[in-house]
Structure 1
């Protein structure tokens, strides 16, 4: 569930999702395009199940890319939507 503090639209208005509007998979996974990740941490903060962290290693540009450090991704896509550099793809599975 997304906390009330994060349910704000771009213009400051409240956002409300109808029943079934947020697709949650039984299992999800992310792919981070490390060459685009700038370690801003917005995706880490947006993840409702807290499975992302900033890596200890650095990419070619000297940034520490985000990584999925534990199981439990629900494939909600909040991380990808929050990424200003489109560095994350989300995959959902019903298996």
Structure 2
């Protein structure tokens, strides 16, 4: 189940990037890394995905916070354009 959950959370391009980064870290090409390292150690793929999943979730959290802040700024800007009538009511 844990493996399926990772696939649901992280898009395919992130999983590919994770394996590419691991191959680069190992000093091998993508195909050679997949053929040799991943086939020899099936748990390695899951460890790579777990590491990248954390980074993906952090990035998604930061993006959500950025969007919230931008929305808050738009609301403030609209209030200023209207002559601050909403601020006096509050």
TM-score with structure 1 length normalisation?
0.23
Which of these two proteins has the greater Rg computed from alpha carbons?
2
Which structure features the higher share of helix residues? 2
- If asked which structure has higher relative contact order (CA below 8 Å, sep 6+), I would say 1
Which structure features the higher share of strand residues? 1
